[in-house]
Amino acid sequence: MKDYSNILIIKMSSLGDVIHALPTLYALRQNLPHAKITWAIHEQFASLLPGTPWVDEVIIIDKKQLKSPSYLWNLRKDLHSRHFDMTLDLQCIAKSAIVSLLSGAPERYGYWELREGSKFVNKALVGAHKYDHVIERYLDTVRVLGGDVEGVEFPMPHDHAAEGVIRKRLADLGVTDDYVVVVPGARWIVKEWPLLNFGELCIRLCESGKKVIIAGAPDDNEKGLFIENYVKNDNLINLVGKTTMAELIELIRHCHIYISADTGPLHIANALKKPLIALFGTTSPHRTGPYGGSHVHIIISPTSKATPEQPLVDDPDCMAQIPVDAVWDVYSEMLRKDL
C-alpha cells in the first residue's frame, strides 16, 4: 500500500453506516500506523468515532450549509490548509463528493457504488466483494489500494464519563449488568416490529425476573411511553430519548442481551460483540445486517422479499409476520447456552 501520510475519510451519516465504516478505519490504521487520519462527519454522529490512535482529528460538516456558497468557500479553505494526500469517500453521494472535491487531495477514492454524480469526483475502487455485505464493500477499498485486511474489527469509542453516568443511573434504579436492552424504533416505519409485539415480549421478559431497558432516540419517545404503559411492570425502565449517543453506547456495552429490528443501535451492539437478536424482513441482513460472530441471532420474517440487490422493500405487513414466540424461543435458547 502506498505510504499515505494525511488521509481524509468521508462518512457523515447515518448511525449504522458510520459503524459499518469503522472496520475500514481499523484496516487503514493497521496498514498506515504513522499516517494522520481525519474523519469528516455530521455533528450528531461524531461521538461514534474513536479517538487516537484511530482517528487523529474530526471535521464537523454542517449538512444544512452545504448549499451555501460562503460555507463551501470557507470549508474549501479549511480543507486545503490541511494538505490531504488522499480522500476516501465511503458515502459516495453528492454531499460527500462535494467534501471530497473541496479537500484538494490529489487522489480521491470511493467504494464501487458511486451515486448521485460522485463518480465525477471520486475514482471507484472495485474489489472481489462488490455484491457482499457493505462492510466488505468498504474494506475492498483498502484491499484494492494494496493494503492487508485481517478480519473485521470495530474500533469503538469508550467514553468513561458517559460510562460513569450510565452506571450510576442503573445503580440508582437497582439494575446490575444482567439486563436486556430493547430498542423499539427504526429509521423507517416499514423496518419496525409492531409495538404490541414489543410490549408482549417485554411483559414476558419482565415476568421472568429480567430487568428490561427500552432505549432509543427522542423521536421514539411516544413508542417508549406506549410500551411503558402497556407493560406496567417495575422491571421495565424507559430510557427512550434519555441518553446521549455516548451514554447509549455504554448502556449497550454493559447489557446482557440486546433486541431490536434493523436500526442504528443494533449496529452498536454488533460492534461491541454483545449477544443480540435482530429482527429483519423489509431489509436484507446479508447486505447491512449485524456481521459475523456467534453473538448474532437473526430472525427473518417468513414473508421477507428483501435481497442484497433490493435491500429495502416497502411491505408494511412484513415485520408483523415475526411472532413473539419466535423471538422468545431464540432468547430462551441463548439463556440456556449462557448457563
269/246 Cα distance (integer angstroms) = 13
Domain count, the chain: 2
Decide if 155 is inside a domain.
no
Instruction: Tell me if residue 167 falls in helix, strand or coil.
Output: helix
**CATH code where residue 119 lies:** 3.40.50.2000
Q: Which of 144, 169, 190 is the last residue of a domain?
A: 144
Report the pLDDT value the prediction gives residue 337, as an integer from 0 to 100. Answer: 87
- pLDDT, one tens digit per residue, over 128-158 is 999 899 999 999 999 999 999 999 999 999 9
| Residues 176 and 272 reside in one and the same domain | yes
Q: Report residue 339's pLDDT band, with 50, 70 and 90 as the boundaries.
A: low
Could you read off the pLDDT of 39-50 as tens digits, one per residue? Answer: 999 999 999 999
C-alpha 137/C-alpha 324 separation (Å) is: 34
Q: In what order do the strands lie in the sheet with 86-89?
A: 57-60, 36-41, 6-10, 86-89, 108-111, 123-125
Termini Cα distance of the chain: 46
Contact 282, 312 (CB under 8 A): yes
| Residue 153 · residue 34 · CB < 8 Å | no
What's this model's pTM, rounded to 2 decimal places?
A: 0.95
Residue that wins the pLDDT comparison between 199 and 188: 199
pLDDT at 277: 98
My answer on whether 66 and 177 are in the same domain is no
For 20-51, give the DSSP string. Answer: HHHHHHHHHHHH-TTSEEEEEE-GGGGGGS--
Q: CA angle 95-153-13, nearest 5°?
A: 20
Q: Which domain holds residue 19?
A: 6-144
Distance CA 339, CA 326 (A): 21
| Percent of the chain residues topping a pLDDT of 90 | 95
Count of all residues that appear for the chain in the document: 339
Q: How far is CA 329 from CA 5, 159, 181, 193, 225, in A?
A: 51, 34, 17, 17, 26
The reply to whether 207 and 328 lie within a common domain is yes
